[in-house]
A and B are shown apart, each in its own frame.
Chain A
Amino acid sequence: MALLSLQGISKSFGGLRAVQELSIEVERGAIVSLIGPNGAGKSTVFNLITGIYRPTSGEILFGGRRLNGLKPNAVAGTGIMRTFQNIRLFAFMTVLENVMVGRHVRMHAKLWDGGLHTPFGKREEAATAETARELLKYVGLDAYESEWARNLPYGMQRKLEIARALAAEPALLLLDEPAAGANPTEKHRLMELVRAIRDRGVTVFLIEHDMKLVMGISDYVHVLDYGEKIAEGTPESVRRNPRVIEAYLGKGA
């Protein structure tokens, strides 16, 4: 069974139908991409999965569990972590602290463990810092752990967001345009990172605006336009699909 399964979900904002009857299956261990022109409703799909919005209709199942109506923190608890299209780091916390916050759901220290420095609290805190440092090394930010998150250059902030999401050891990672705003070399490197993350055993569901970029790494691609799925398939088949070409380049192209 698919790890994540969207079954005919729709979302309307007043009269605007942002997502219509969308069904997507994300298989365990795959890199699945959701592409489409600006304003196609891609981010809305992520917001539906993570509980910012409630679907107007349809079912969201994750590992067989229904996610409809769960709050974002509960969704995170089920093993789904995400990054944001417009980076949302904790600006005035250090790089290390950002990643440690990402591990929140894997930690169990209560108020008193922290306040009174109980042996359990100390041990868990040390282990968390250790894991966070390993992750920073993994994404190449280990030299900046005491820096404010907001002081990092843009590309590093993207990587930090990914490290923060990975800290929870999620089963599914939702990446919302991780390469947006990066230059071509940097985009290429980020896609390498995405592949490496998949090889760690994390299933990746990726939103990307740049079609060429996802073709190289995706196992399966869904194309969204005006909230509706217009195509799906392997990167090769999607690339040749006339409806996709039309959506991206306009009629008559």
Chain B
Amino acid sequence: MPGAVSRSTALGGRLTGRQSALLGALIFALLLFPLIDRNASHVSAVADAGYFVLLVFGLNIVVGFAGLLDLGYAAFFAIGAYTYAMVASAQFNLHFNFWPMLVVSACVAALFGVILGAPTLRLRGDYLAIVTLGFGEIVPQIFLNLDKYSGGPNGISAVDQPVLFGHAFGFDPIPYYYVYVVAVGLCVILLNNLRHSRIGRAWMAIREDELAAQHMGINATTTKLLAFAMGASFAGLAGVIYAAKLTLISPDEFNFSVSVTVLAAIVLGGMGSLLGALLGGVLLSLLNFLVLPQATNWVHSLGFALHANFLLGLDFTNYRFMIYGLILVLVMLFRPEGLIPSAARRAELHAAEIAGPAAAQAAQTEYGESGSP
């Protein structure tokens, strides 16, 4: 029994044959999707899931790996988006190229991750959550009030759209879709590598027991800041593509509800798990961008057909947060570890059932009844 299953792998290390086949099929489907579904609004909705998944991945480093509850994560998304919009629009008459700005914005966001993370290093749990919540509110307020630089409440419009090999992306969602697919794919590989590395283990050690981690020679200060920076850089990256695709950004797109929704996706998918983050992000954003608007359209058509006026007044997108809340309550009731939990989360919540027969047996044979901790 021991060693038969490697429980540490949520996604890989080494994949089994079935897993790699599944992964191959998924990648294939993702690449073909815009060619099969020619409806631009569908492709656009799935593309928008891309920025959301990037946000979920980034926050998953901070919350899931390092165990630091950050409620102001949207701030870094805003910083990434504004960084690009300011230097690639008529705002300052600068028109920097989109591609290098992906890296630059990620670095700027990472820098702010360190700046905003530094004051919170001594805080834990609830206190950390409240301070990060504050930062999450402050950053959009700054963009709202710095009219001169950020366009104030109107934000920045006519943000430059990317050009690749002479092909302008324009308002066609398909090229953005592929940019997101590549970005998400690279981030999955990066995160999976990090999970099984010196730094990844240091993050988890801090999550598990900060004092013991320090005694292993882990510098808690730099390791936590690295988690904040790394998490923020994902949001910075997402912000650039988001701003370029929408061509218009304003401060109210980065409010608290974004941070909460991203966190909800992590909880839904399974804290600390890569596949869970992916699934949670995709589900919530598809619900938001595709299912709710579509459902509203159907109900409106039905209302026309039946001449039922009350149906025409319905707009499901207004019930978004109620539906999120409902989903979260149901998940907490029936699957508290999330849809695809990291093995650690599952073990934590089902400790008794999962405690391996090996351990139980060993406890019996070697230590007798007194062996349990």
Contacts and interface: CB of A to CB of B under 8 A. Distances in A.
Interface in B270-290: none
A229 B3 CA distance: 48
Given A152-B359, A168-B217, A104 B373 contact: no
A145 interface: yes
B344 interface: yes
Contacts of B211: 52, 72, 88
Which of B205, B347, B351: most chain A Cβ within 10 A? B205
A114 B204 contact: no
A181 B200 CA distance: 33
B293 to A, nearest CB: 37
B39 interface: no
Interface size class of A (residues with CB under 8 A): 35 or more
B323 to A, nearest CB: 31
B95 interface: no
Interface stretch (B4-12, B16-24, B133-141, B245-253): B4-12
A104 B5 CA distance: 25
By DSSP majority rule, is chain B's interface helix, strand, loop, or mixed?
helix
A146 B2 CA distance: 7
B360 to A, nearest CB: 9
A185 B190 CA distance: 48
A147 B197 contact: no
A143 B205 contact: no
Given A114-B193, A114-B198, A168-B216, A150 B5 contact: no
B42 interface: no
A154 B215 contact: no
A115 B214 CA distance: 22
Contacts of B362: 144, 152-153, 156
B201 A97 contact: yes
B2 to A, nearest CB: 4
B366 interface: yes
Contacts of B197: 109, 113-115, 121, 125
A153 B215 CA distance: 23
Contacts, number: 167
B172 interface: no
A50 B347 CA distance: 32
Interface string A68-100: 000111011100011010011111111011001
A113 to B, nearest CB: 7
A54 interface: no
Given A72-B215, A156-B362, A186-B367, A100 B201 contact: yes
Nearest to A167: B216
B367 A90 contact: no
Nearest to B211: A88
A144 B2 contact: yes
Nearest to B191: A115
B356 to A, nearest CB: 6
B201 A111 contact: no
B227 to A, nearest CB: 10
A81 B3 CA distance: 28
A154 B367 contact: yes
A156 B3 CA distance: 16
A116 interface: yes
A143 B3 contact: yes
Contact of B202 (A104, A116, A152, A156): A104
Contacts of B344: 92-93, 148
B7 A148 contact: yes
B347 A125 contact: no
Interface stretch (B145-153, B218-226, B257-265): B218-226
A146 B359 contact: no
A168 B355 CA distance: 29
Interface in B318-357: 343-345, 347-348, 351, 354-356
Give 7 closest A-B pairs by Cβ, nearest first.
A114-B197, A105-B217, A76-B217, A92-B344, A153-B363, A90-B208, A88-B212
Interface of B: 2-8, 190, 193-194, 196-202, 204-205, 208-209, 211-220, 226, 230, 343-345, 347-348, 351, 354-356, 358-359, 362-363, 366-368, 370-373
Interface of A: 50, 52, 71-73, 75-77, 81-82, 84, 87-94, 96-97, 100-102, 104-105, 107, 109-111, 113-117, 121, 124-125, 128, 143-148, 150-157, 164, 168, 183, 186
